Amino acid sequence: MKGFLKNLFLFTVGGVLYYLMEILWRGYSHWSMFLLGGVSFLLLGLINEVLSWETPMLLQMAIGAAVITLLEFNVGCLVNLRLGWNVWDYSDMKFQFMGQISLKSSILWFFLSALGIVLDDCLRYRFFGEEKPSYRLI
């Protein structure tokens, strides 16, 4: 039960932050972005739970960007292409794929992943008594 509540807390933090980030960036969001943000944040948090603390932050950021981009693509194919909800459309951008992901967004996810990884680690340390965070840049 303790693990469930921890994951629910982290999911909610990620979902709320992702949703608010969308509102600040685009002026609006969609409830599905709360779910995508929650899952993304949980997976970002698993990077240095699965890998060693010695894993360079730049590698963790690259993994985070790849994970979020893959999630964005899969969710986009479902909510935009299959269900027709039109939550987002990158079709007018350069270096996009099927209107669901773009190079610009992936680069943004690379940098935002650092914030997500550090926030997750700090929350785990502060509220759940997990290991104190420490990082290597390269």
Q: How far is CA 24 from CA 55, 73, 126, in A?
A: 32, 22, 27
Return the domain boundaries, the chain. 2-128
What digits encode the pLDDT tens for the residues 21-62? Answer: 999 999 999 999 999 999 999 999 999 889 988 999 999 999
What digits encode the pLDDT tens for the residues 97-135? Answer: 999 999 999 999 999 999 999 999 999 999 999 999 999
- Token code pair at residue 85: 């909800």
Residue type, 52: S
Tell me the C-alpha distance between 57 and 80, whole Å. 33
pTM of the prediction? 0.94
Tell me the C-alpha distance between 31 and 61, whole Å. 26
Tell me the C-alpha distance between 9 and 57, whole Å. 24
Please give the angle made by the CA atoms of 82, 67 and 97, to the nearest 5 degrees. Answer: 45
What digits encode the pLDDT tens for the residues 69-102? Answer: 999 999 999 999 999 999 999 999 999 999 999 9
Q: Express the helix, strand and coil content of the chain in percent, nearest 5 each.
A: 70, 5, 25
Tell me the C-alpha distance between 54 and 60, whole Å. 10
Residues 6 or more apart whose Cβ sits within 8 Å of residue 29: 19, 20, 22, 23
